[in-house]
């Protein structure tokens, strides 16, 4: 509910409850406690026509007024942000996205995104898709670096989106994971869905035969190949200083897919505490995952094209530290 006022009266059984707790349970509001706290801080929630605090203990005769402002009109502004352009023509642009850059605007990140930079650099982008994602067909996590293609025309967008849906677009990643992977290669087939408790995370939702658990999930396929193993103890003993550098290919593009799947088999990505890595290891801010290669049929020429980038400096530096037996 937005853009209106609402008055709440206190049922007897709610007497003595914190104001923010009480309001977060009011069905008509559908607001979280953090959203309610912000409204209180902004003076938009009053008790008996007076400003208050989130910790205020409500009384049965209190009259609570909540003013919910109308939603902000969201627009994406061009910003002069440097881009590492790998390829560009009238149909598409391929960019090597740096770690730390968000792909497109979203709550909490409306500036400094790849889309903001593309709007400044390009004369035009495809209009198909979501309004805040012009030209964006696929995305990379904020802390995942590497290749991403954007469409400049609606025809190019439609072509790339079709390839993505039919799983013919080829995406190859390089990742550094914890532990020594014994097999030289492998395939992970495990459905992914929203974590049942931690809603900002994804998780593997197991299938049971042909029947899937009631938790909503989507099929996901990840294949990996070992590039190099680093073991402080020798052999395949999985110790604290053991790591494996792998090449990863994905058929599907689920949210956090590689991070979730590698954690699921006991090899979380280095720098990814969200899915089992160590917080602050090697002074990293985010996982060591790089989209190294991208291949697809060019929307304009109809020919298969492939682009490749070098490993980012940060990943090479961590590998050098591990190879030299250095400490975190």
Contact 47, 64 (CB under 8 A): yes
Strand runs labelled E in the chain = 4-9, 45-47, 50-51, 63-68, 85-88, 92-97, 145-151, 170-178, 185-189, 192-194, 202-204, 207-208, 211-212, 221-230, 243-250, 289-297, 304-308
Residues labelled as active-site residues: 141
Shortest CA distance to 189 belongs to which of 96, 265, 89, 279?
265
Question: What SS3 state is found at 39?
Answer: helix
| Residues 183 and 153: beta-carbon distance below 8 Å | no
Question: In 3D, which of 264, 266, 153, 277 has the Cα closest to residue 217?
Answer: 264
Phi, psi (rounded to 5 degrees) for 94: -110, 125
d(CA 96, CA 82): 11
Give the dihedral of Cα atoms 158, 163, 164, 169; nearest 10 deg.
-140
Task: Give 296's strand partners.
Answer: 305
CB-based burial, 131-152: b 16+ in 10 Å, e otherwise: eebbbbbbbbbbbbbbbbbbbb
- Alpha carbon distance 55, 230 (integer Å): 52
Helix/strand/coil for 174: strand
In this structure, what token pair is assigned to residue 47? Answer: 């008790």
| Bridge partners, residue 99, by sequence | none
Residue of 165, 162, 138 whose CA lies nearest to 302: 162
State both tokens at 289. 């995952």
Instruction: Show Cβ contacts of residue 303 under 8 Å, excluding neighbours closer than 6 positions.
Output: 297
């Amino acid at each position: 509910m937005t853009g209106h006022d609402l008055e709440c009266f206190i049922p007897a059984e709610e007497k003595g409850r914190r104001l923010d707790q009480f309001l977060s349970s009011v069905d008509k509001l559908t607001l979280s406690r953090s959203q309610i706290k912000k409204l209180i801080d902004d003076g938009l929630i009053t008790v008996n026509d007076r400003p208050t605090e989130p910790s205020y203990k409500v009384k049965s005769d209190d009259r609570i007024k909540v003013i919910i402002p109308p939603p902000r009109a969201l627009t994406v502004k061009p910003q002069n942000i440097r881009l590492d352009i790998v390829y560009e023509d009238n149909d598409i642009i391929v960019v090597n996205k740096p770690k730390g850059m968000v792909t497109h605007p979203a709550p909490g990140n409306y500036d400094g995104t790849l889309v903001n930079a593309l709007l400044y650099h390009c004369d035009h982008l495809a209009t198909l898709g979501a309004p805040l994602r012009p030209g964006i067909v696929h995305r990379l996590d904020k802390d995942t670096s590497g290749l991403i293609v954007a469409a400049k025309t609606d025809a190019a967008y439609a072509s790339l989106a079709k390839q993505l849906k039919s799983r013919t677009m080829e995406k190859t990643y390089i990742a550094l994971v914890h532990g020594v992977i014994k097999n030289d290669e492998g395939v992970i087939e495990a459905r992914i869905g929203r974590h049942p408790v931690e809603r900002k995370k994804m998780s593997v939702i197991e299938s049971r035969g042909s029947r899937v658990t009631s938790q909503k999930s989507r099929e996901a396929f990840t294949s990996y190949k070992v590039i190099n193993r680093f073991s402080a103890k020798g052999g395949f003993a999985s110790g604290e200083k053991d790591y494996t550098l792998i090449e990863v290919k994905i058929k599907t593009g689920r949210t956090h897919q590689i991070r979730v799947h590698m954690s699921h088999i006991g090899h979380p990505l280095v720098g990814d505490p969200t899915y089992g890595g160590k917080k602050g290891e090697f002074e990293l801010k985010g996982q060591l995952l790089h989209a190294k290669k991208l291949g697809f049929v060019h929307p304009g020429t109809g020919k298969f094209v492939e682009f490749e980038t070098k490993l980012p400096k940060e990943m090479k530096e961590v590998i050098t530290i591990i190879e030299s037996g250095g400490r975190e």
